[in-house]
Amino acid sequence: MFFGRITQLFTAASVTSLDVGTSAPDSISFGSSGRKNGLRHSASLQDFSSYHGFDPDEEAILAPQNITWGPNGSSFSKDKGGVPNGTNPSRSGRKWIRAVMILMCLVLFALLVYIVSMYGYTNWSRGASRYYVVFDCGSTGTRAYVYQASVNYRKDSSLPIVMKSLTEGISRKTSGRAYDRMETEPGFDKLVNNRSGLKTAIKPLIQWAEKQIPKHAHRTTSLFVFATAGVRRLRATDSSWLLGNVWSILAKSPFTCRREWVKIISGTEEAYFGWTALNYQTSMLGAVPKKATFGALDLGGSSLQVTFENEERTHNETNLNLRIGSVNHHLSAYSLAGYGLNDAFERSVVNLLKRQTDVNKSDLIGGKLEMKHPCLNSGYKGQYICSQCAPSVRRRKKGKTGVPIKLVGAPNWGECSALAKNAVNSSEWSNTEHGADCDLQPCALPDGYPRPHGQFYAVSGFFVVYRFFNLSAEASLDDVLEKGREFCEKAWQVARTSVSPQPFIEQYCFRAPYIVSLLREGLYITDKQIVIGSGSITWTLGVAILEAGKALSSSTLGLKSYETLSMKINPIALISGLLVSLLLLLCALSRVSNCMPRFFRKPYLPLFRHSSASLNIPSPFKFQRWSPMSPGVKTPLSPTVRSSPHRPFSFGSSIQLMESSSLYSSSSSVMHSYSSDSLGEMQVDGSSSFWSSPRRSQMRLQSRRSQSREDLSSSLAESHMLKM
Ligand X SMILES: Nc1nc2c(ncn2[C@@H]2O[C@H](COP(=O)(O)OP(=O)(O)OP(=O)(O)O)[C@@H](O)[C@H]2O)c(=O)[nH]1
Known binding-site positions for ATP: 301-305
Q: What is the DSSP string of 600-668?
A: GG-TT--TT---TTTT-S--SS------SSPTTSPPPS-HHHHT-TT---TTHHHHHHHHHH---S-HH
Q: Which 3-state string (H, E, C) describes 565-619?
A: HHHHCCHHHHHHHHHHHHHHHHHHHHHHCCCCCHHHHCCCCCCCCCCCCCCCCCC
C-alpha–C-alpha distance, residues 457 and 472, integer Å: 14
**Phi and psi torsions of 119, nearest 5°:** -65, -40
533 binds, among ligand X, Ca ion, none (CB under 5 to 8 A by kind): none
Please identify, using beta-carbon distances, which residue of 33 and 266 lies nearer to ligand X.
266
Please identify, using beta-carbon distances, which residue of 302 and 529 lies nearer to ligand X.
302
CB 416 within 8 A of CB 509: yes
Query: If binding means CB under 6 A, how many residues of this protein chain bind ligand X?
Result: 26
The contacts of residue 719 (CB under 8 Å, 6+ apart) are: 651, 654, 675, 676, 679, 680, 683
Question: Taking contact as CB under 6 A, which single stretch among the options 174-182, 362-370, 386-394, 671-679 is the one that binds ligand X?
Answer: 174-182
For residue 307, state whether it binds ligand X (rule: CB under 6 A).
Answer: no
Contact with ligand X (CB under 6 A): which of 301, 338, 442, 636?
Answer: 301
Q: Which 3-state string (H, E, C) describes 184-244?
A: ECCCHHHCCCCHHHHHHHHHHHHHHHHHHCCHHHCCCCEEEEEECHHHHCCCHHHHHHHHH
Contact with ligand X (CB under 6 A): which of 245, 253, 425, 460?
Answer: 460
C-alpha–C-alpha distance, residues 188 and 141, integer Å: 7
For residue 457, state whether it binds ligand X (rule: CB under 6 A).
Answer: no
Please identify, using beta-carbon distances, which residue of 508 and 691 lies nearer to ligand X.
508
Please identify, using beta-carbon distances, which residue of 231 and 443 lies nearer to Ca ion.
231
The CB-of-274 to Ca ion minimum distance in angstroms stands at 9
C-alpha–C-alpha distance, residues 402 and 68, integer Å: 110
By CB under 6 A, what part of segment 571-610 binds ligand X?
none
Please identify, using beta-carbon distances, which residue of 341 and 637 lies nearer to Ca ion.
341
Side-by-side strand order, sheet with 381-386: 370-373, 403-409, 381-386
The 465-484 site mask, x for binding ligand X (CB under 6 A), equals: ---x----------------
The CB-of-482 to ligand X minimum distance in angstroms stands at 19
Q: For residue 476, how many other CB atoms are within 10 A of its CB?
A: 13
The secondary structure of residue 339, as a DSSP letter, is: -
Please identify, using beta-carbon distances, which residue of 52 and 190 lies nearer to ligand X.
190
The CB-of-340 to Ca ion minimum distance in angstroms stands at 8
CB 6 within 8 A of CB 601: no
Q: For residue 107, how many other CB atoms are within 10 A of its CB?
A: 11
Q: What is the dihedral of CA 306, 312, 315, 316, to 10 degrees?
A: 100
C-alpha–C-alpha distance, residues 712 and 39, integer Å: 9
Question: Taking contact as CB under 6 A, which single stretch among the options 346-354, 458-466, 589-597, 623-631 is the one that binds ligand X?
Answer: 458-466
705 binds, among ligand X, Ca ion, none (CB under 5 to 8 A by kind): none
By CB under 6 A, what part of segment 222-251 binds ligand X?
228-230
For residue 707, state whether it binds ligand X (rule: CB under 6 A).
Answer: no
521 tagged catalytic: no
Please identify, using beta-carbon distances, which residue of 295 and 694 lies nearer to Ca ion.
295
For residue 411, state whether it binds ligand X (rule: CB under 6 A).
Answer: no
For residue 266, state whether it binds ligand X (rule: CB under 6 A).
Answer: no
Instruction: Classify residue 442 by burial, with Cβ atoms within 10 Å: 0-12, 13-18, 19+.
Output: buried
Contact with ligand X (CB under 6 A): which of 502, 534, 581, 661?
Answer: 502
Question: Taking contact as CB under 6 A, which single stretch among the options 170-178, 389-397, 417-425, 623-631 is the one that binds ligand X?
Answer: 170-178
Contact with ligand X (CB under 6 A): which of 139, 425, 612, 635?
Answer: 139
For residue 464, state whether it binds ligand X (rule: CB under 6 A).
Answer: yes
464 binds, among ligand X, Ca ion, none (CB under 5 to 8 A by kind): ligand X
Task: Write down the catalytic residue from 270, 506, 563, 681.
Answer: 270
Binding residues for Ca ion, rule: CB under 5 A, are 138, 300
341 binds, among ligand X, Ca ion, none (CB under 5 to 8 A by kind): ligand X
For residue 348, the SS3 value is helix
198 binds, among ligand X, Ca ion, none (CB under 5 to 8 A by kind): none
Contact with ligand X (CB under 6 A): which of 461, 513, 628, 694?
Answer: 461
Please identify, using beta-carbon distances, which residue of 139 and 689 lies nearer to ligand X.
139
**Helical segments of 35-194, H only:** 43-46, 91-127
By CB under 6 A, what part of segment 187-216 binds ligand X?
187
By CB under 6 A, what part of segment 311-370 binds ligand X?
340-342
The CB-of-178 to ligand X minimum distance in angstroms stands at 4
C-alpha–C-alpha distance, residues 172 and 177, integer Å: 6
Which residues are part of the catalytic machinery?
A: 270
Interface residue list for ligand X (CB under 6 A)? 138-141, 176-179, 187, 228-230, 300-303, 340-342, 460-461, 464, 468, 502-504
